[in-house]
Chain A
Amino acid sequence: MFVHIRDLQYRYSNSDHLTINKFNLTINKGEITTILGESGSGKSTLLRLIAGLEMPSKGNIMVGDDCMCSQSKFVQPERRGIGMVFQDYALFPHMTVSENIKFGLVKWSRKDKKARLQEVLELVNLEGYEKRYPYELSGGQQQRVALARALAPKPKLLLFDEPFSNLDADLQIKIREELRKILKTTGVTSIFVTHDQEDAQALADRIVILRGGEVSQNGTPEEIFGTDCDISDRIAVKPRVLSRT
């Protein structure tokens, strides 16, 4: 097991109920896990806990062989070696594409930085855009920069918070396929959060369904949505799992 989360619990200080409760998850190395849940079910909060941006009241998080968080230990986000692509990308507006991507390459030599920059730019298909500022890019391009920036420091684990929600539908389908290819090429372990069932099916090796901060189902896409549909059919599948009960 590469990622191991046990009995995670969290409550925002101004909230009267647990936002995340009894959350357990294990992930194998190189796997893409999708967490599927309605808006407000606690997906972003969960990612923030894994990244170290919030401190859980209970539970352990292990990534690789390192304990990130337990009752007696809390590793700050800058020391976790975990990457994240934010919902709004959070590209630094005062830096060019190449400055953004090189930002996380702390303690790398100049030469290595340059080589790595070219490598990830190629990976996300953005060669030639180094000098642009984020506001000079389209939404899809911004998203790829965000991905490149997160990939560049070679994180142990990569987190995505609804990365497609700001893109229009056509682009969404195209980028989704691309993303899966990129993630599989690099072999990075990743957790991917969405409220969109199609996204989940198209990307995931494993799907976890989150409801009210708790895991309600956990399995492969086939186990959850049935084996009788191939990729093209999936688009037509009604989001039955998500419909309110």
Chain B
Amino acid sequence: MNWIRNIKSNMNSWAILSIVFIILILLPNLSIIFQFFSEPNENWAHIREYMLNTYIKNSLILVVAVGVLSAIVGSSLAWIISAYQFPLRNFFQWGLILPLAIPPYIGAYTYHGIINYTGVIQTTLRNQFGVTVDQQYFDIMNMPGTIFIFVIFLFPYVFTITKAFLARQSTSLIENARLLGSNPWKIYFKIVLPLARTSIVAGVSLVILEVLNDYGVVKYYGIQTFTTAIFQTWFGLGDLASAIKLSGTLMLIILGLLIAERVLRGRKRFSFTTTKVKLLKPVQLKGVSKWVAFSYATTVFAVAFIIPFIQLIYWATLTYEQFFSEDLLSVIGNTIMVALIAATLITIMAIVISNFSRLHRGLTAKLFPKVTILGYSIPGAVIAVGIVTLFIGIDKFMYQNTLVSSYVLSTSIFMLVFAYVVRYLAVAYNSIESGFERIGTSFTEASRILGQNITKSFFKVDLKLIRGAIFGGFILAFIDILKELPLTLILRPFNFETLATNAFQYASNEMIHEAAVPSILIIIISAIAIYFFHHVLERE
């Protein structure tokens, strides 16, 4: 009776908790998949006939254009900064990650505010130079404008991953090429791009997932995508069933993209040739090329961070009395509270699942990490659809069996927290998993042989050794939740505002100045975390 023994000896509290967590994560996704195949209604026929093509076309244009452009901007900056020395290079190392602190929807309304008729550019032109421009050329609320916004605020994903890769890469190839005297362009296209392909694709896939997740930018700029369509059918038409069908379609598209990513990455996921790390030594640039590199980095930094940030500060000074309003304080309190609770839950679940899967052999242990990534690949609006149907189902069941007197779950903050957990588990998981990978299993094994069980070993040994990774994972999840928009808009209880929904709603109501204060708070908290994170990583 071998298998009974095997199951019995593998069934510890870590295994049981992991299984429970994984089932919780899967439930909302399953609830979409089941209902995806239900009988369609008239709305759906109409949507499929007249609108689905537009959604698919717009979403694909965005994905392709933003993917390609952010790959170019991100990888070229990563290359310049890894390989060359020029003024302010050390600052740009982490400065160019800062645009991530500005959520694209905030960037979107800020740039609209800068460029439109009453914005700083046009007013200056009119008042100082008496020039009135053709509005047609000063409109950002269109497809190219949307692409621009996504690229400048999302390219750092490609930049950081590629830069980290280039830093670890055994450098002989690049150095040889450089010594051979080929010009930088040639090196970039012939060597860096193919060599760093894996990490560029990894970065671009994060960018694409963000683009598909976005609701704020496309809604504000009036671009019809899947996400806006889900919102519209659900809240505009009150048709949850069709929203589910849209969500299922989007999940299929994402599945296709993820498979494409696998193929593009190639078989080798990590192409380190040697384990010995030789740091890439930057070459001092001289003359014109020094200033070209400097101007390129500076321009990107200005456009993607400084300009919108200064504009927001200026607007905030116009409405600073709001700083002290009680409303704002309660919004800050709400935001930090849900983010803390959800990030803590996420961290605990990530620790449990990753510890389980590293200490056990077998199929389940291998599949669990894949499930944690699921939520991160699926847009917030889709997760929201899944979770609402799930919770309403549970509520209905409890109500009909008179366990409760009204729908409690689907009207509570619990639903929102649960959604954050499903969506951002992967963020903390990746960080914690890499921490575990760094220490390996031998300390745990030594501890167990010395008489401590898995749980005691975890608290006495593993936890102490991966504190940094755990904290890092917590911070990353916290920041993502702080900025989150589509899930929060859909799932928050009545009258519950976070900084993100607050900013977005002011902006949607054309109260851009009022939107500035919550926006700046989000940016500053995120920027501090990024700075901190970059330095923790640097030291480790």
Given A92-B461, A94-B464: A71 touches B361 (CB 8 Å cut-off): no
A55, A71, A86: the one within 8 Å of B9 (CB): A55
Measured CB to CB, the nearest residue on chain A to B465 is A94
Please tell me if B182 contacts chain A, counting CB pairs below 8 Å: no
Sort A-B residue pairs by CB-CB distance and give the 7 closest, nearest first: A104-B450, A90-B446, A74-B9, A90-B442, A77-B448, A106-B451, A78-B448
Please tell me if A43 contacts chain B, counting CB pairs below 8 Å: no
Q: Which residues of B contact A90 (CB under 8 A)?
A: 442-443, 445-446
Starting from the known contacts A77-B449, A91-B446, 13 additional A-B residue pairs (CB-CB under 8 Å) come to A51-B445, A53-B449, A71-B2, A76-B448, A76-B453, A77-B445, A83-B450, A92-B446, A103-B450, A106-B450, A149-B450, A150-B450, A153-B450
Interface SS majority for chain A: loop
Measured CB to CB, the nearest residue on chain B to A104 is B450
Q: How far is the CA of A80 from the CA of B451 in the complex (A)?
A: 8
Interface positions, chain B 1-43, Cβ under 8 Å from A, are: 1-2, 4-6, 8-9
B1, B9, B461, B464: the one within 8 Å of A76 (CB): B9
A55, A71, A77, A93: the one within 8 Å of B1 (CB): A71
Q: How far is the CB of B1 from chain A (nearest CB, A)?
A: 6
Q: How far is the CB of B415 from chain A (nearest CB, A)?
A: 39
Q: Are the CB atoms of B453 and A92 closer together than 8 Å?
A: no
Q: Are the CB atoms of B4 and A86 closer together than 8 Å?
A: no
Q: Are the CB atoms of B442 and A88 closer together than 8 Å?
A: yes
Scoring A residues 188 to 202 as 1 if CB is less than 8 Å from chain B, else 0, what string do you get? 000000000000000
In which size bucket is the chain A interface? 20 to 34
Interface SS majority for chain B: helix
Q: How far is the CA of A83 from the CA of B439 in the complex (A)?
A: 21
The residue among A55, A84, A90, A106 with the most chain B CB atoms within 10 A of its own CB is A90
Measured CB to CB, the nearest residue on chain B to A77 is B448
Count B-side interface residues using an 8 Å CB cutoff.
Answer: 24
Q: Which residues of B contact A86 (CB under 8 A)?
A: 442, 445-446
Q: How far is the CA of A183 from the CA of B534 in the complex (A)?
A: 50
Given A90-B442, A90-B445: A71 touches B450 (CB 8 Å cut-off): no
Please tell me if B447 contacts chain A, counting CB pairs below 8 Å: yes
Given A90-B442, A92-B443, A93-B465: A104 touches B2 (CB 8 Å cut-off): no
Please tell me if B287 contacts chain A, counting CB pairs below 8 Å: no
Measured CB to CB, the nearest residue on chain A to B457 is A78
Measured CB to CB, the nearest residue on chain A to B446 is A90
Please tell me if A82 contacts chain B, counting CB pairs below 8 Å: yes
Q: How far is the CB of A15 from chain B (nearest CB, A)?
A: 12
Please tell me if B194 contacts chain A, counting CB pairs below 8 Å: no
**Can you list 6 pairs linking A and B with CB atoms under 8 Å apart?**
A72-B4, A72-B5, A73-B5, A78-B452, A88-B442, A106-B450
Please tell me if B256 contacts chain A, counting CB pairs below 8 Å: no
Please tell me if A28 contacts chain B, counting CB pairs below 8 Å: no
Q: Which residues of A contact B450 (CB under 8 A)?
A: 78, 83, 103-104, 106, 149-150, 153
Q: Are the CB atoms of A57 and B442 closer together than 8 Å?
A: no
Q: Name B's A-contacting residues (CB within 8 A).
A: 1-2, 4-6, 8-9, 361-362, 442-443, 445-453, 460-461, 464-465
Q: Which residues of A contact B465 (CB under 8 A)?
A: 93-94
Measured CB to CB, the nearest residue on chain A to B442 is A90
Q: How far is the CA of A80 from the CA of B450 in the complex (A)?
A: 9
Q: Are the CB atoms of B452 and A84 closer together than 8 Å?
A: no
Q: Name A's B-contacting residues (CB within 8 A).
A: 13, 51, 53, 55, 57, 71-74, 76-80, 82-84, 86, 88, 90-94, 103-104, 106, 149-150, 153
Q: How far is the CB of B14 from chain A (nearest CB, A)?
A: 13
Q: How far is the CA of A72 from the CA of B8 in the complex (A)?
A: 10
Q: Are the CB atoms of B446 and A72 closer together than 8 Å?
A: no
Q: Which residues of B contact A13 (CB under 8 A)?
A: 361-362
Q: How far is the CB of B171 from chain A (nearest CB, A)?
A: 28
Given A82-B449, A90-B445: A72 touches B464 (CB 8 Å cut-off): no
The residue among A82, A103, A149, A153 with the most chain B CB atoms within 10 A of its own CB is A103
Q: How far is the CA of A83 from the CA of B448 in the complex (A)?
A: 10
Q: How far is the CA of A192 from the CA of B448 in the complex (A)?
A: 20
Q: Are the CB atoms of A84 and B453 closer together than 8 Å?
A: no
Q: How far is the CA of A106 from the CA of B242 in the complex (A)?
A: 60
Q: Which residues of B contact A74 (CB under 8 A)?
A: 5-6, 8-9
Q: How far is the CB of A112 from chain B (nearest CB, A)?
A: 15
Q: How far is the CB of B366 from chain A (nearest CB, A)?
A: 9
Given A76-B9, A94-B465: A84 touches B446 (CB 8 Å cut-off): yes
Q: Which residues of B contact A79 (CB under 8 A)?
A: 451
Q: Which residues of B contact A76 (CB under 8 A)?
A: 9, 448, 453
Measured CB to CB, the nearest residue on chain A to B453 is A78
Q: How far is the CA of A93 from the CA of B8 in the complex (A)?
A: 33
Q: Are the CB atoms of B446 and A78 closer together than 8 Å?
A: no
Q: How far is the CA of A91 from the CA of B445 in the complex (A)?
A: 11
Q: Which residues of A contact B361 (CB under 8 A)?
A: 13
Q: How far is the CA of A50 from the CA of B326 in the complex (A)?
A: 65
Q: How far is the CA of A57 from the CA of B442 in the complex (A)?
A: 23
Q: How far is the CA of A55 from the CA of B10 in the complex (A)?
A: 10
Measured CB to CB, the nearest residue on chain B to A152 is B450
Q: Are the CB atoms of B2 and A78 closer together than 8 Å?
A: no
Q: Which residues of A contact B6 (CB under 8 A)?
A: 55, 74
Q: How far is the CB of B329 from chain A (nearest CB, A)?
A: 41
Measured CB to CB, the nearest residue on chain A to B9 is A74
